[in-house]
Amino acid sequence: NLHGVRAFGSTFFNFVDYMKGSVRLAALMGLPVIHVFTHDSIGLGEDGPTHQPVEQLATLRATPNVNVVRPADANETALAWKFALSQTDGPCALVLSRQGIPILDPDSVPQDAVEKGAYVLRDATQGEPDVILIGTGAEVATCVGAAERLEAEGLATRVVSMPCWDRFIEAGREYQEQVLPPSVRARVSVEAGGTIGWDRWVGPDGASVGMTGFGASGPASELLEHFGFSPEKVAECAKEIAQRVSGATQT
């Protein structure tokens, strides 16, 4: 930055562990370095658990002054890059998948999607939602698929894409409660990584679909199904949470 040049680097996300010192130092010094991390989950497939990140998202999110962005598709990725270039006082980490991801409806992705950290991608078709699905990265599409199944069964479902926790925290309580109304206690987060920290967003009555151990080697589609990242399994989890919350409210 001394000479007007932006520093950036790219590697597999799992290997951020080898460069944690430099990421932390850039954050401490307020340097706007851009880190592009790819192959962000078990979705990378056959390379196996030595290359599949689990705890890395939680580690980066816990590092002060690092904006961690995990975009859901090409639309969010373009906005994430624009956001990263706008940063002047700290690093930004873009966490990207390896596997193919469905492209979201561009009209459903606001221009401030990354700047505000989270937004309602797909709302309940009728009235207030019974359950909210919160996803990041590739799992946002999984949430959309689960929502379609839940709505078909009569369960009003909102899908929230949350590309950047840090920005959503900065957005303030009023906006947070617009996206995640306190009255909707049935919430499920879906992210192919460790679940540490998600209780902040799902609340005491919610649940987190995530990794509880290391991954495995195999085709990405089979791994995602095995570890619970399918629309069907997410929908089942959401139904259980909604029923439990509804039962607790009635009693």
pLDDT tens digits, residue range 34-67?
A: 999 999 999 999 999 999 999 999 999 999 999 9
pLDDT tens digits, residue range 153-203?
A: 999 999 999 999 999 999 999 999 999 999 999 999 999 999 999 999 999
- Res. 6: pLDDT tops 60: yes
Tokens standing for 244? 């439990």
pTM of this structure? 0.94
Tokens standing for 126? 């009728």
User: Cα dist. 37→10, 155, 198 in Å?
Assistant: 6, 36, 21
Confidence label for 13 from pLDDT (cuts 50, 70 and 90): very high
Q: Are 181 and 203 in contact (CB under 8 A)?
A: no
Domains of the chain: 8-250 (3.40.50.920)
| pLDDT for res 214 | 96
Q: State the virtual CA torsion across 161, 164, 166, 167 in degrees, nearest 10.
A: -70
